[in-house]
């Protein structure tokens, strides 16, 4: 693999994982917390309904989980392409 194609593959993988993480976060925070909240209101969780939980806590928890997943994924991707920090 040439240096240019390796660099392009690295950035393509990076942009792909960023897009996937942002879509998941948007679905959870905007979709579940706002748009689908009336549909989720009948499902109890932790003393409140699921729609309220996603709006108040769920989107934050998913965001933090996505941060840790992204960091782990990028560390693996960096090692795979030889751009990791020693």
**CB 74, CB 66: distance < 8 Å:** no
* Mean pLDDT along residues 67-86: 90
The DSSP result for 3-71, as a single string, is HHHHHHHHHHHHHHHHHHHHHHHHIIIIIIIIISHHHHTTSEETTEEHHHHIIIIIHHHHHHHHHHHHH
Per-residue pLDDT of 12-56, as tens digits, reads: 999 999 999 999 999 998 888 888 888 888 888 888 888 888 888
């Amino acid at each position: 693999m040439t240096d240019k194609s390796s660099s392009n593959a690295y950035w393509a993988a990076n942009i792909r994982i960023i897009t996937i993480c942002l879509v998941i976060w948007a679905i959870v925070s905007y979709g579940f917390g706002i748009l689908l909240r009336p549909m989720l209101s009948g499902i109890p969780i932790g003393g409140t309904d699921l729609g309220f939980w996603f709006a108040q806590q769920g989107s934050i928890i998913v965001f933090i989980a996505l941060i840790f997943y992204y960091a782990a994924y990028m560390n693996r991707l960096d090692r795979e392409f030889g751009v990791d920090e020693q």
